[in-house]
Structure 1
Amino acid sequence: MKQNQAEVTRNLYNLLLNPATRDWERSLLRTAKIGIDNGANFDDQIGKLEADLRPLALRNNLTPDVTDFYLKITGNAATLDSFDLSKHYDDDGPHQARAIFAGGCFWCMVEPFETKPGIIAVISGYTGGHMDNPTYEQVVGGYTGHVEAVEIIFDTTIWSYAELVELYWQLTDPTDEFGQMADRGSNYRPVIFVANEEQRQIAERSKQNLATFGKYKRPIVTAIEPTSVFWPAENFHQQFYQKNPRRYKKLKSARKQFLAFQHIQTKLWRGLKRSQKKSNNDIK
């Protein structure tokens, strides 16, 4: 793919200044930029940089912004455009509202909402922490107190907040306060972030109903917390299910299998409890 030299050089410079870029990534980027600045063949330098980054890229082990850059120089058309974050920053219209949910890795929390009619936008990001402008590396490292979350902007004439909460329960394990499925750590804990008293009452009532119904063997531990600043995640993470369909399919399948197995276990447990109760009544 023929590269736009001015754009690639500008991206190299920005990545060198980006605090989220790892030192070893920065050293490779710097070598390429110095070579280009000193008159070396542009395509040769970018080709060498791509080859140096490839082993980690294939293992999905580059930082998000460097990943985006790698995908651009290798011609992955699905990720050339930046995700439009304007809806996050715009004021809500007369029939719009927002819901913020954390339920493990945000890669798996977008598609179930975004593909529904009446959902205006779903944005992956970080919230609930104590640092401004956190990066993915910082959040995953547990340095910021943030959780991975999704901000859902929805049409209130089609969806109610209560209906979104009900869908949220179907996607998460509300009995695990230390993460979700294979995602472990405080940055993956399940949280419903409420923007006002109405949302709080709806979330608490829904959580209580879930506990009363006895669908789960263990206690419902999903937290309900007030909203704080929601920081949109890097472009690489937005609409991950569209950019990386194969990887997303595997993640989604693993999550569905886990939840299905959990529900089967619960049904067996509830059946055993009913059987024991009946036996005790017969004895009486």
Structure 2
Amino acid sequence: MRAITEKDLSTFYNLLLEPGTRDWERQQLVKAKEQLAAGQTSAKVFAELEHSLRPLAVRNNLTPAVTDFYQSITSNDEQSQQYDYARHQAALTDSRYDHAIFAGGCFWCTVEPFELRPGVISVLSGYTGGHVDSPTYDQVTSQTTGHVEAVEIVFDPNKMSYADLLKIYWQIIDPTDDNGQINDRGDSYRPIIFVHNKQQRDLAEASKLDVVEPGRYSKPIVVAIRDAQPFWPAENYHQEFYKKQPKHYRAMERSRRQFLWFQKVKVKLTRRIK
């Protein structure tokens, strides 16, 4: 573990006040705080804290804020870097660019397919469509806030059209499943296209018809098209997950691709049998 800084200590004390911190996590933090108050060195205290958090950290089972803290004290690499929210906001308000919001299941798997395309300026993971302001990840995944996990995409319409983004979207989701996506179940993983204006709505509805009419799927297309609602950024840990946890992401993305491929093959086989 690297040397502990004043910034680490400040973050640590803020975690004690973080409402999203789980009881077990808070117990470990309080224990560490008491050790510091008793005069133990920060290096020793944080080493013990890292050891207690490690079993859940390696299973990605800590709350996002605690995960960020854990990664910051155990590494200096990309995992601990802060997402540049200001950069995204600046792009969002730039008159040269347009933006889109898509919900397609877990946002861990819906950033890379868009972010690496020419003309895409920025992609932010977040929550939208619900009735709670500034929701946390735990609140959203409790399925009680009405929010879905989604991505907000800022793009240059001279290089990437909204219609092209829609084509990508339909390729990475199961449009017949309105109770989640692939292995992620529940309302917070519903596939929804959120539109900002009539032009986007018309294009979204046309693209949906393009999916329905060829009869590519044996089940109804259930993706909703709704007016855009406030978009709340997700915690730092969730931003650009494919960069922070490449092995975990690749395993998830491979499973997703295999599921979607098998679904298409199954439909083709069903048609031949009929």
TM-score band, normalised by shorter chain: over 0.9
**Per-residue deviation at 1:94?**
3.2
Counterpart-to-counterpart distance in 1, 2:77 and 2:87: 23
Which residue in the other structure is 1:81 paired with?
A: 81
When the two chains are superposed, the root-mean-square deviation of aligned CA atoms in Å is 1.2
State whether structure 2 residue 15 is matched by structure 1 residue 15.
yes
1:249-264 to 2 correspondences below 5 Å: 249-264=250-265
Counterpart-to-counterpart distance in 2, 1:42 and 1:183: 39
Does the aligned pair in 2 maintain the 1:194–1:200 contact within 8 Å? yes
| Matched-pair identity in % | 52
Counterpart-to-counterpart distance in 1, 2:117 and 2:23: 41
Flag the structure with larger Rg: 1
Counterpart-to-counterpart distance in 2, 1:206 and 1:75: 44
Q: What number of residue pairs does the alignment pair up?
A: 273
Which residue in the other structure is 1:236 paired with?
A: 237
Which residue in the other structure is 1:268 paired with?
A: 269
TM-score, normalising length: structure 2: 0.96
Does the aligned pair in 1 maintain the 2:130–2:147 contact within 8 Å? yes
Which residue in the other structure is 1:203 paired with?
A: 204
Larger deviation, residues 31-40 vs 170-179: 31-40
Counterpart-to-counterpart distance in 2, 1:141 and 1:93: 35
Residue identity matched to 2:40: A
1:134-153 to 2 correspondences below 5 Å: 134-153=135-154
Per-residue deviation, residues 141-188 of structure 1 (Å, max 9, x unmatched): 112110000001001001111111111000000000100000000000
Counterpart-to-counterpart distance in 2, 1:97 and 1:29: 43
Does the aligned pair in 2 maintain the 1:9–1:33 contact within 8 Å? no
Does the aligned pair in 1 maintain the 2:4–2:73 contact within 8 Å? no
Instruction: Give the gaps of 5 or more residues in structure 2.
Output: none
Residue identity matched to 1:101: F
Which residue in the other structure is 2:127 paired with?
A: 126
Does the aligned pair in 1 maintain the 2:32–2:45 contact within 8 Å? yes
Does the aligned pair in 2 maintain the 1:5–1:42 contact within 8 Å? no
Per-residue deviation, residues 2-51 of structure 1 (Å, max 9, x unmatched): 32331121111111111110011011111112221332121110011001
Provide the secondary structure at the position in 2 that maps to 1:156. Answer: coil
Provide the secondary structure at the position in 1 that maps to 2:221. Answer: coil
Counterpart-to-counterpart distance in 2, 1:118 and 1:30: 47
4+ residue stretches of structure 1 with deviation over 4 A?
A: none
TM-score, normalising length: structure 1: 0.93
Larger deviation, residues 67-76 vs 164-173: 67-76
